[in-house]
Amino acid sequence: MIGAELFHTTSQAVGYGSLTGFNIGGVYDFDEGHHLMMSIGTGNRNVDYGTTYIAYQWTFGPREKKDKDQK
């Protein structure tokens, strides 16, 4: 799964400007319980800066039972 976002925030405090940026990211599912999430992007607040994010997600717990007719 791949996605993107464009964002803008107004000033968070006196003396700070607004921030505009974008991120592109994705999720890769190894199987039902193991996932790799990643994102890279940039923003602009008087100087350009970059951001990256990489994470591993492990999901577990009860699974939905499949009907006999479903394969």
Residue 68 banded pLDDT, cuts 50, 70, 90: low
Of 46, 51, 48, nearest to 15 by C-alpha is 46
pLDDT digits (tens, 9 = 90+) for 12-55: 888 877 888 899 999 999 998 999 999 999 877 666 678 899 99
The pLDDT assigned to 48 comes to 66
Residues 6 or more apart whose CB falls under 8 angstroms from that of 42 comprise 21, 22, 48, 49, 50, 51
- Largest interatomic CA distance in the chain: 64
The per-residue pLDDT for 64 is 76
Confidence of residue 56 (pLDDT cuts 50, 70, 90): very high
CA dihedral 11, 16, 22, 28 (to 10 degrees): -90
pLDDT given for residue 69 in this prediction:
63
